Amino acid sequence: MRYLLPLLTALSLIPTAHAFDRAKLMDSFFSIVMIRGYNQNGSLAYGSGVIVAPNKVLTNCHIFRQTKEPWISRGEDTYTIASIQADRWHDLCLITTDNLPFKPATLGKASDMKKGEEVIAIGHSSGSPAPVTSLGTVKSAYPLDDGIILRSTARFALGASGSGLFNEEGQLVGINTFKTIGRVAYFYAVPIEWLDKVAQQPAESVMQITGKAFWEEEEDTKPYFLRIAVPELQEDWLKLEQIAQSWAKAEPNNTEAWYELGWAEEKLARTEEAEKHYRKSLALDANNTDALFRIGVIANDKGDKQEVHKISVALLNLDKNIAEEFGNTVGCKLEC
Count other Cβ atoms within 10 Å, centred on residue 332: 15
Angle of helix 237-250 relative to helix 255-267, nearest 10 degrees, comes to 150
Which residue ranges of the chain lie beneath pLDDT 70? 1-20, 333-335
pLDDT score, position 208: 84
Domain architecture of the chain: domains with CATH: 4-214 (2.40.10.120), 219-329 (1.25.40.10)
pLDDT score, position 94: 98
pLDDT score, position 143: 95
pLDDT digits (tens, 9 = 90+) for 289-327: 999 999 999 999 999 999 999 999 999 999 988 999 999
Q: Which positions ≥6 away from 27 have C-beta within 8 Å?
A: 103, 105, 106, 170
Is-above-0.75 flag for pTM? yes
pLDDT score, position 272: 97
Q: Is 45 left (phi over 0), alpha (psi -120 to 50) or beta?
A: beta
pLDDT digits (tens, 9 = 90+) for 49-94: 999 999 999 999 999 988 888 999 998 899 999 999 999 999 999 9
- Per the CB < 8 A criterion, the answer to whether 154 and 119 are in contact is yes
Distant-in-sequence contacts of 223-231, Cβ < 8 A, 24+ apart: 223/142, 223/144, 224/250, 224/251, 224/257, 225/140, 225/142, 225/144, 225/149, 225/151, 225/256, 228/260, 229/180, 229/186, 230/180
- Residue 129: closest CA among 16, 58, 48: 48
pLDDT score, position 13: 47
- Residue 56: closest CA among 205, 206, 198, 212: 198
- Per the CB < 8 A criterion, the answer to whether 57 and 19 are in contact is no
- Per the CB < 8 A criterion, the answer to whether 224 and 246 are in contact is yes
How far is residue 156's CA from residue 26's CA, in Å, rounded to a whole number?
Answer: 19
How far is residue 191's CA from residue 145's CA, in Å, rounded to a whole number?
Answer: 10
How far is residue 326's CA from residue 315's CA, in Å, rounded to a whole number?
Answer: 8
Amino acid at 206: V
